Amino acid sequence: NAGVTQTPKFQVLKTGQSMTLQCAQDMNHEYMSWYRQDPGMGLRLIHYSVGAGITDQGEVPNGYNVSRSTTEDFPLRLLSAAPSQTSVYFCASSSLQGGNQPQHFGDGTRLSIL
């Protein structure tokens, strides 16, 4: 039982490049989400999904796209990378949306935009 798996663990991009951060969970969780973590700040919600085919914006969605074609996978796409998107990105899942269930986190993707 792997939990939440994120790939890659590290990535360096040039400004303007695009890439996809992968996230997969094997717990059959309906709710999945993406956060970014910046120094001195809490995790900020980028996008989330309450089930396959359903996605919605979080607190900081600009510059990112998501899709949810299966229950297991929730990729995050950077359309045109900018230095402000340098951050650590975490994917999380839980059985239900909201704070009445524990969130299960992956180990993160450390992304640097040059």
Q: Can you give the binding site for another protein, defined by CB under 8 A?
A: 4, 35, 40-45, 90, 92, 97-108
Alpha-carbon span 66 to 22, nearest angstrom: 10
Beta carbon nearer to another protein, 35 or 74:
35
Give min distance, CB of 41 to another protein, in A. 5
Q: Is the CB of 69 or the CB of 95 nearer to another protein?
A: 95
**Residue 33 to residues 11, 15, 56: CA-CA distances in angstroms?**
20, 25, 10
Rounded to a whole number of angstroms, the minimum distance from the CB of residue 33 to another protein is 9
- Measure the CA angle with vertex 108, ends 63 and 70; round to 5°: 70
Closer to another protein by Cβ: residue 28 or 100: 100
Minimum separation from the CB atom of position 17 to another protein (A)? 24
102: three-class secondary structure by DSSP: coil
Query: Which CB atom, from 1 or from 99, has the smaller least distance to another protein?
Result: 99
Output the CA torsion sign for 57, 59, 64, 67. negative
The CB-of-65 to another protein minimum distance in angstroms stands at 22
